[in-house]
Amino acid sequence: REGSGEFHAMEDEEQRQEEVEALEAIYGDDFSRTAEDCFEIAVRLPDDRPLLLSIAQPSEYPSSATVILQVRASWLSGGDEDVLTAGLLSVAEESIGEVVVFKLVEWLREEGVHLLPPPDSLPASHRPAPEWQEEEEQQEEEGKVWDEDWTEEIARAIEEAKQASGGLQKGRGAHLSRSEQQRWLAQIV
């Protein structure tokens, strides 16, 4: 009997490792390890609201235990968090014996979103920022602020690149949109 327990422990460890590798491949930058058997997945709901799903894989998972989980977002009320957690735990407990994290993320996107109040019913302070605003805030944090000085430098660099590559018409660089400037700058740098 003791040998059987060791077999399950080895099998569980292998399944946990395979699950993590698959999740890393599926979710890419939205997946991050926080400890050996712990990780987080940034989940974007169909209505564009972001959630963070934190997962811990106990040593008995998946054969005889399920994951330990937490769902968070700055715009979630405590009651909404409880509703989502209860739904996720129900799915997880029904799936003991199999890896479940992908199923949990899909449940959040397909079912859990319907248990939440619509985004426009949230107080303004709890609404997620539009995606463009989040990108600008992240760029500011990383020191990538697109002010007038940068625009002039970008325009010069774009002009040089265009002349070297026979690109767009001469003189148009200063009138490119921010995304066009970023695209050109990425090609140059």
pLDDT per residue of the chain (189 residues) written in tens, 0 to 9: 445 556 678 899 999 999 999 999 999 999 999 998 999 999 999 999 999 999 999 999 999 999 999 999 999 999 999 999 999 999 999 999 999 999 999 999 999 999 998 887 765 655 555 554 555 566 556 654 444 554 455 555 555 555 654 544 333 344 445 555 555 445 544
pTM recorded for the entire structure = 0.63
CB-based contacts of 86, cutoff 8 Å, min separation 6: none
Backbone angles phi, psi at 98, to 5 degrees: -140, 155
DSSP letter at 171 equals T
Is residue 64 within 8 Å of 95, Cβ to Cβ?
A: no
Q: Kindly list the strands in the beta sheet with 38-44, ordered across the sheet, starting from the edge strand earlier in the chain.
A: 31-35, 38-44, 50-56, 68-72
